[in-house]
Structure 1
């Protein structure tokens, strides 16, 4: 698809429930506005050093950012001293990320990669894989989700860690949508809200100050389901934070952050 084309979901947009949708959703005009949605400075203040501290606590040095987007977390990690490789499935996102990093004085190492075949396109093993920005929700097929998690697992060193976040779709599905926009989408005068939600689709609408409107079709992942899939591909210890807090009421956080350790724990025999 041409980078300049507008989004096209066809005549029945809520029927578009395929993993490969993301390839045509992130058109250049949408990507060019993505940083208005995030607001890097506000997001940095709200997140603090949460991800940096999790990685440092585990002695991580080499990090693979598999959902680099426009580069926010990759740049944060580079500036914190980590050795970072940035991957994304969208060439438009990677181009924007590279330019954002360059403007901040960094040469970002980027690679375009589909998570389902991640290890075909990356080299070596990493101390940590980070998959942030609600990106895992782009996978609509359970086999795709399992394959992607297995690829993340394989990309890690034996004592590596996966950090993956997601919207609190449990709250959206069970109680309706609300968001403080405190932590993730911090931009001024930007509206983000679901246009349609059912157990198989969350279609979000993004409205910008210039009246432009874009959509993303995503799968509404439930927290317990994601944790189960992580365990089934081999991750043993999984801690889940709600908006960066260890304790929370299930319906309150906008986002969950899963921190999954790969290290092998031998069963204790008696």
Structure 2
């Protein structure tokens, strides 16, 4: 099928408006990702950072309902079109820092993949997000998170990610350190000509930080992987994937338990 890029001719379009036109070609979705997530999802599910809805569309069969949250109006428009024949899927435009203001829950599963989590502004916002997911999950519910492995990025001083190229479209991704943050520079080109460039400040979340904050939030039964093939997490691996559960007994008097143990 021929691809047209006439929308790129509008010089006033934002970077993400331009990216949304070719997003599905640059990020077609991984079957390994689907196979990893499917056994962990049931009932009512929330996708945080749903993009153009590709993953929701693939995961919706077999679920009671799946909500998707996206902050880009252009991505949301693509998702609405894609999901119009998926009756148990619903997209919402909004900010992931306001999960409880946008969704009422309870959910059986919540996932946030595609390096979305590190767009939050540092430890306080990440911990706040984790607390909101815990509140929105049913007891026994599952949280799945996936980011780039920033342990490797920091240790090996990674500055460039693999070039994404589909037909005549290229997406170059670079990192530049800035204090305790990383500047992500995304450059979109067509036929070698610059289409758009965006810089975004990311928080390089490490394995130890994520593990600690999940435990502090109240999550249990933590499992960590290095990719969607379920290989164990390694500091040199490409990704950090966490699977955690909300305890069945969500209201525990730890002082009482400590006292009983001491008797």
3-state SS of the aligned residue for 2:83? helix
Q: How does 1:148-187 map to 2 (within 5 A)?
A: 148-177=129-158
Aligned length: 237
In structure 1, stretches of 5+ residues that fail to align are 8-25
- The match for 2:207 among 208, 223, 226 is 223
- Aligned mates of 2:145, 2:205 — CA distance in 1: 12
* Structure 2: runs of 5+ lacking an equivalent: 1-9
TM-score with structure 1 setting the length: 0.77
Distance 1:242 1:180, change over 3 A: farther
Alignment of 1:1-270 (within 5 A): 5-7=12-14, 27-40=16-29, 43-44=30-31, 46-55=32-41, 60-102=42-84, 105-107=85-87, 108-177=89-158, 190-198=170-178, 199-210=180-191, 211=193, 212-217=195-200, 218-244=202-228, 245-252=230-237, 254-264=238-248
State whether residues 191 and 207 of structure 1, in contact with CA within 8 Å, keep that contact through their aligned partners in structure 2.
yes
Taking structure 2 as the reference length, what is the TM-score of the superposition?
Answer: 0.79
Shift of 1:204: 3.1
1:125-152 CA distances to partner (integer Å, 9 max, x unpaired)? Answer: 1001111111011112322112111111
Higher percent of residues as strand: 2
Task: Give the RMSD, CA atoms, in angstroms.
Answer: 2.7
**Deviation string for 1:187-240 (max 9, x for gaps)?**
566344324134312313243444324334122211211221111111122111
